[in-house]
């Protein structure tokens, strides 16, 4: 991967008992994506405006600045993986992102699934 490229990773975690899914999105900004704190805030406003227009059912739960290989961690709820993919694609339209979507299962749900597997033969 080129230095300064943007990576977005989205992992789906089912919300217990509902049709909605929680998505975790990690984003790494390109060093050329923003040149000042004001431009960062403007980029955020522009991206969120576009997501609200194109994906009105998406509910943004929280956003965090993180230290490490990614710059941001966002948590949102969407109807399905296709909607999460649309959110990710919308971010790419601003020219600052490479994106990936990963699905995951909440740990307690995963343990329930594993309990239904047959034992070794």
**CATH assignment of the domain containing 49:** 3.30.780
Statement: the pTM of the whole predicted model exceeds 0.85: no
Would 93 be classed as within a structural domain? Answer: yes
pLDDT attached to residue 117: 94
Question: What number of CA atoms fall less than 13 Å from residue 43's CA on the CB side?
Answer: 18
Domain that holds residue 100: 7-115
- The per-residue pLDDT string of the chain (121 residues; one tens digit each, 9 = 90 and over) reads 444 444 444 545 555 555 578 888 888 878 777 778 888 888 889 999 999 999 999 999 889 888 888 888 888 889 999 999 999 999 888 877 666 666 656 789 889 989 999 988 7
The rounded distance, in Å, linking the Cα atoms of 15 and 117 is: 22
Would 120 be classed as within a structural domain? Answer: no
pLDDT attached to residue 109: 83
Would 1 be classed as within a structural domain? Answer: no
Would 57 be classed as within a structural domain? Answer: yes
Q: How many domains does the structure of the chain reveal?
A: 1
């Amino acid at each position: 991967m080129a230095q300064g490229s943007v990576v977005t990773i989205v992992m789906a975690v089912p919300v217990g008992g509902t049709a909605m899914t929680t998505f975790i999105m990690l984003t790494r900004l390109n060093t050329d994506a923003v040149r000042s704190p004001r431009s960062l805030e403007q980029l955020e406003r522009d991206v969120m405006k576009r997501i609200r227009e194109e994906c009105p059912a998406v509910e943004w739960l929280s956003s965090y600045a993180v230290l490490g290989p990614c710059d941001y961690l966002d948590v949102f709820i969407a109807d399905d993986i296709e909607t999460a993919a649309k959110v990710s694609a919308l971010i790419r339209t601003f020219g600052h992102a490479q994106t990936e979507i990963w699905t995951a299962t909440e740990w307690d749900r995963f343990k329930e699934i594993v309990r239904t597997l047959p034992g070794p033969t």
